[in-house]
Amino acid sequence: MRIRYYLFQKIKKTKDKKIRKKNHVKQKGIIIIQIDGLSKNHLKAAIEKKKMPFLTKLLTKQNYEVYPMYTGVPTTTPAVQGELFYGIKSIVPSFSFRDHKLKEIRRMYFPEDATRVEEKLSGMGEPLLKNGSSYGNIYSGGALKANYCIVSFGKERLLKALSLKNIVLNLYNSIKTFLKSILFLVAELFLGVYDFIKGLFYRHNFFQEFKFIGSRLAITILLRDRMKDSVKYDVRQGVEIMHVNFMGYDEHAHRRGPSSGFAYWVLKGIDRSIKDIWHTARKSKKRDYKVIIFSDHGQEGIISYSKIAGKSMSDAVDDIFVNDKSDSTDEKHGIQNLRSVLLGKKFYQNLSSFINFKNGPQRLMATAIGPLGHIYLEEMLSPERKQQYAERLMREAKIPLVLYIGESEKVMAVNPEGVYELPAAKAKILGEDHPYLGEVATDLDRVVRHEDAGDFVISGWRKDDKPISFVVQHGAHGGPGKAETDAFVLKPNSFDMKLPEGRQYYKLNELRQAIFEYLERADFNNNV
């Protein structure tokens, strides 16, 4: 009798447990994974080359679909995250620009500059990451925990976070992950040395090549794994919403080109990190997590301006505006070098000693990190004079596209074919075959009218030729190019995103609204 009673009680408890488990409804959660700089076409190529086996599995076995997504112009992370996190389009006119009130140059990898912009954003839109976490981003997005973000740079240094003690503590429960990180680190080191020797062979700058070995190790391997483990920890804690930005591909694409073997190599590690996060999310007992993967923009394979013009951009601008000397230091470095501020205070100070970052009022200022930039003048010019200077910048300085506000507040564009009005002559300016022609024309018009835009907005876009970047690099983004605007979103079919009838691609605002709706939160922003 006792045995029968014991078995009866055991079966009853098991049934009750199953019933409770069946009736238990988990709360909803969102994990947003950003692959910085990866275009939809390069995602497709990486999958075909078997560089991203887990994403392939999501598409073939887990009911995921990949969709094109237009993320706006300027095609930069600060602009994209401003819209995704706060619902505000084109919060900045480019990656580097002049603050019209303080007459100071803002570069969005400097903590004080990013903080000023986010303060502005927070007063305009509902933060997406409220009560969540933010990793590797420009802004916090309103998150309670923002690590390795530019705005949190003063609170936490990467080198401190990457101490041996912290790495061991974060990986103590996963020897396999730890060993893989070491193996990838060693492999990346050998690749870095090879790339360094190759760069010297092609007569690249010694200091830049040597410094890139360290930055690529930290950003490609250590930072990636630290952020991955932070997200996994948050999943176990039941955090409602998380956003992590893996920037290793963008780092390599800037340096060696978006289709380079080095850039594709990094995607293997990113794919592995996504796999770890996805499996951890699936095992969560606290929340039903939807994992969304997207890119903020793509990159163009480019030609450096100096190769076309035979001189630096600042020298070319000085030649046009004969009576002034422009203050332009952006061309001495690209985004991958500015990103080095993430490596810690000491490294940042050493870097700054090699680069002259000036601020303050200047009669002539030029700023450009990539293929989109600005020329600022202190004097007011008539529409006729603006057109004259724009034509000279195009013809003599060999800047392929120059935009300005002309007569009757119309946005005018000068390229080798003539002078046109934007957005009316968008095909003449951007090319008839541009996949987002109407969207890009509207956003480019908004950039030129931005309160912090220059008197002249200069672009390296050439609709019938390879685009130009105003800094020395092999991959670039920021402008209106076809590859730059070629972003994607990869999502499960169970995550509903509304697509307007007749449109074949998503926009950032639709991703933002879908997240709010899934989490049953209200978006109070009406500024989009």
Residues 277 and 424 in one domain: no
Rounded distance, CA 194 to CA 405, Å? 48
Q: Does 53 reside within a domain?
A: yes
Query: Quick one: three-class SS letters along 464-503?
Result: CCCCEECCCCCEECCCCCCCCCCEEEEEECCCCCCCCCCC
Residues 402 and 292 in one domain: no
The domain in which residue 458 lies consists of: 302-334+363-473
Residues 376 and 392 in one domain: yes
What residues have CB less than 8 Å from 91, skipping those under 6 apart?
A: 78, 79, 82, 83, 117, 120, 121
- Dihedral of CA 445/466/196/272: which sign? positive
Residues 123 and 75 in one domain: yes
Q: What CATH number does the domain containing 267 carry?
A: 3.40.720.10
In 3D space, the residue among 394, 447, 434, 443 whose CA is nearest the CA of residue 417 turns out to be 394
Q: Does 525 reside within a domain?
A: no
Phi first, then psi: what are they for 77, rounded to 5°?
Answer: -60, -40
**Range list of H helices, 24-52:** 40-48
Tens digit of pLDDT for each residue in 106-139? 999 899 999 999 999 999 999 999 999 999 999 9
Rounded distance, CA 512 to CA 491, Å? 13
The percentage of the chain sitting over the pLDDT mark of 90, rounded to a whole number, equals: 66
Residues 246 and 306 in one domain: no
In 3D space, the residue among 62, 32, 492 whose CA is nearest the CA of residue 240 turns out to be 32
Q: Would you give the end-to-end CA distance of the chain in angstroms?
A: 72
Residue 159 has pLDDT above 70, yes or no: no
Query: How many helices (H) and strands (E) are present in the chain, helices listed first?
Result: 20, 20
Look up residue 474 and give its two tokens: 């092999």
How many structural domains is the chain composed of? 2
Could you count the other beta carbons within 10 Å of the beta carbon of residue 48?
10
pLDDT, position 207: 46
Residues 314 and 276 in one domain: no
Please say whether the beta carbons of 341 and 109 come within 8 A: yes
pLDDT, position 459: 98
Please say whether the beta carbons of 66 and 489 come within 8 A: yes
Residues 414 and 376 in one domain: yes
Please say whether the beta carbons of 466 and 277 come within 8 A: no
Q: Does 198 reside within a domain?
A: no
Residues 139 and 251 in one domain: yes
What residues have CB less than 8 Å from 21, skipping those under 6 apart?
A: none
C-beta pairs of 172-180 under 8 Å, 24+ apart in sequence: 177/225, 177/229, 177/276, 180/272
What residues have CB less than 8 Å from 169, skipping those under 6 apart?
A: none
Q: Region 174-193: what's the mean pLDDT?
A: 49
Residues 435 and 487 in one domain: no
Kindly state the helix (H) or strand (E) to which residue 147 belongs, with its residue range: strand 145-147
**pLDDT band (50, 70, 90) for residue 9:** low
Q: Is 131 left (phi over 0), alpha (psi -120 to 50) or beta?
A: left
Residues 272 and 397 in one domain: no
Task: Scan for tokens 């007749």, then name that residue.
Answer: 502
Residue 315 has pLDDT above 80, yes or no: yes
Rounded distance, CA 493 to CA 59, Å? 10
Tens digit of pLDDT for each residue in 449-489? 999 999 999 999 999 999 999 998 899 999 999 999 999 99
Tens digit of pLDDT for each residue in 354-382? 333 334 445 789 999 899 999 999 889 99
- Mean pLDDT for all residues in the chain: 83
Tens digit of pLDDT for each residue in 14-29? 655 554 455 557 899 9
Q: Does 59 reside within a domain?
A: yes
- Highest-pLDDT range among 11-25, 40-54, 216-230: 40-54
Phi first, then psi: what are they for 139, rounded to 5°?
Answer: -110, 165
Q: Does 458 reside within a domain?
A: yes
